[in-house]
């Protein structure tokens, strides 16, 4: 088939909602942008284990410890799902991981903030996983088959993550004065970075246009961000807490909440590696990779022996 024929075939599949599978012909740029997004998504899951992992040994009760352990283990599984989906596009696990360790690949800016109190674990579950769900439910319909299918399982586990986070904050919001203050403080620190998870404004989004055309993305960054604000602005009423945004106000005409301007300088600063914990996060990942060398060697030797 000529290149034109292949491109036409590919375009028809996208138009007719036929999933693109690993063995299908696809434009190099489609392959490249899926590798970029899926690998960075996987890195986010794995790096995202670090801020929460910090509280596994400090959880206030055995029950909370067990729940947090389960959540962090889920994130590891999400990362492995996504690394595997990425490999179907022809990039090896080593190459992908090296891109993270060298700083070439990104991961979500949100994980470069510190977890200062137990309430942060609640705020991460409720806000960060809540934002991730909004984005990932959309990705269950992404055009690349393995990515869409990985999202189905991930979204089921994310809703447990969000509920356990909200429940942590609900208990604190009904607790002592100090616990109420701890709850509000965590919401104040995690609100704006959670809005940044959806990426730059549509006008500054370099990948969105093409990703929408190829149905990798079904909704724009700003659309998803707005859905998230509308959801959280209602849920926070149950907590009796406030979002740190004096411009947050229901707009009857728009049928959405208006909200304040995001600090885009902070966003790009963190994306460029100058956030509060960027160095600590990458150092931890590189150390884990080095210390895990023997496990990979043993697994490879075992697989070789069994051939």
Nearest Cα neighbor of 163 from 256, 238, 223 is 238
Stretch that binds ligand 3HC, among 39-47, 53-61, 162-170, 232-240 (CB under 6 A): 39-47
Instruction: Please report, for residues 55, 121, 189, the alpha-carbon distance to residue 68 in angstroms, rounded to integers and kept in the order given.
Output: 8, 8, 20
CA dihedral for 37, 69, 154, 95, sign (positive or negative): positive
CB of 174 to ligand 3HC, least distance (A): 26
C-alpha span between 117 and 186 (Å, rounded): 8
Q: Quick one: which of 10, 34, 37, 228 contacts ligand 3HC (CB under 6 A)?
A: 37
Nearest Cα neighbor of 65 from 48, 77, 79, 53 is 53
Q: Quick one: which of 86, 127, 132, 187 contacts ligand 3HC (CB under 6 A)?
A: 132
The token duo for 250 is 């229901």
Q: How many CB atoms lie under 10 A from the CB of residue 204?
A: 12
Cβ distance to ligand 3HC smaller for residue 16 or 156 = 156
> Would you state the torsion angle of the CA atoms of residues 13, 17, 18, 23, taken in this order, to the nearest 10 degrees?
70
Residue whose token pair is 């959540």: 71
CB of 52 closer than 8 Å to CB of 121: yes
Is residue 148 near ligand 3HC by the rule CB under 6 A? Answer: no
Cβ distance to ligand 3HC smaller for residue 25 or 268 = 268
Q: Quick one: which of 109, 115, 143, 278 contacts ligand 3HC (CB under 6 A)?
A: 109
Q: Quick one: which of 108, 115, 162, 184 contacts ligand 3HC (CB under 6 A)?
A: 108
Q: Quick one: which of 39, 44, 164, 194 contacts ligand 3HC (CB under 6 A)?
A: 44
Is residue 168 near ligand 3HC by the rule CB under 6 A? Answer: no
Cβ distance to ligand 3HC smaller for residue 153 or 180 = 153
DSSP calls for 196-225:
HTT-S-GGG-TTHHHHHHTTS-SS-HHHHH
CB of 135 to ligand 3HC, least distance (A): 5
Q: Quick one: which of 117, 221, 226, 227 contacts ligand 3HC (CB under 6 A)?
A: 221
CA 188 to chain centre: 20
Q: Quick one: which of 19, 106, 141, 242 contacts ligand 3HC (CB under 6 A)?
A: 106
CB of 6 to ligand 3HC, least distance (A): 25
The token duo for 110 is 């949100």
Between residue 266 and residue 285, which ones bind ligand 3HC under the rule CB under 6 A?
271
Q: Which residues contact 247 (CB under 8 A, 6 or more apart)?
A: 258, 259, 260, 261
C-alpha span between 111 and 295 (Å, rounded): 26
Q: Quick one: which of 20, 30, 34, 41 contacts ligand 3HC (CB under 6 A)?
A: 41
CB of 50 to ligand 3HC, least distance (A): 11
CB of 180 to ligand 3HC, least distance (A): 25
String marking each residue 179-208 x if it binds ligand 3HC according to CB under 6 A: -----------------xxxxx----xxxx
CB of 146 to ligand 3HC, least distance (A): 14
C-alpha span between 168 and 71 (Å, rounded): 13
Nearest Cα neighbor of 132 from 207, 74, 173 is 74
Q: Quick one: which of 19, 36, 101, 180 contacts ligand 3HC (CB under 6 A)?
A: 36
Binding site for ligand 3HC (CB under 6 A): 36-37, 40-41, 44-45, 48, 75, 78, 106, 108-109, 128-129, 132, 135, 158, 196-200, 205-208, 211, 221, 271
């Amino acid at each position: 088939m000529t290149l034109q024929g292949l491109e036409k075939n590919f375009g028809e599949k996208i138009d007719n909602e036929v999933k693109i599978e690993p063995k299908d012909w696809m434009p190099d740029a489609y392959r490249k942008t899926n590798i970029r997004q899926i690998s960075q998504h996987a890195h986010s899951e794995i790096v995202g284990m670090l801020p929460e992992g910090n509280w596994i040994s400090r959880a206030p009760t055995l029950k909370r410890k067990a729940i947090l352990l389960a959540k962090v283990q889920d994130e590891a599984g999400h990362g492995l799902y996504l690394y595997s989906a990425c490999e179907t596009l022809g990039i090896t696990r080593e190459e992908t991981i090296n891109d993270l360790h060298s700083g070439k690949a990104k991961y979500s800016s949100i994980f470069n903030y510190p977890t200062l109190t137990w309430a942060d674990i609640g705020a991460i579950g409720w806000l960060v996983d809540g934002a991730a769900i909004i984005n990932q439910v959309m990705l269950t319909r992404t055009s690349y088959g393995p990515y869409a299918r990985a999202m189905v399982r991930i979204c089921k586990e994310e809703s447990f993550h969000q509920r356990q986070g909200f429940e942590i904050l609900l208990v604190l919001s009904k607790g002592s004065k100090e616990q109420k203050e701890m709850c509000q403080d965590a919401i104040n620190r995690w609100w704006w970075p959670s809005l940044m998870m959806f990426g730059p404004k549509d006008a500054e989004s370099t990948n969105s246009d093409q990703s929408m055309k190829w149905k990798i993305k079904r909704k724009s960054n700003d659309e998803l961000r707005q859905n998230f604000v509308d959801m959280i602005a209602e849920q926070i009423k149950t907590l009796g807490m406030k979002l740190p945004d004096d411009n947050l106000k229901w707009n009857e005409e728009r049928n959405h909440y208006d909200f304040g301007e995001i600090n885009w300088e902070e966003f790009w600063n963190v994306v460029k590696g100058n956030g509060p914990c960027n160095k600590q996060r990458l150092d931890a990942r590189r150390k884990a990779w080095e210390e895990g060398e023997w496990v990979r060697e043993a697994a490879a030797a075992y697989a070789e022996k069994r051939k």
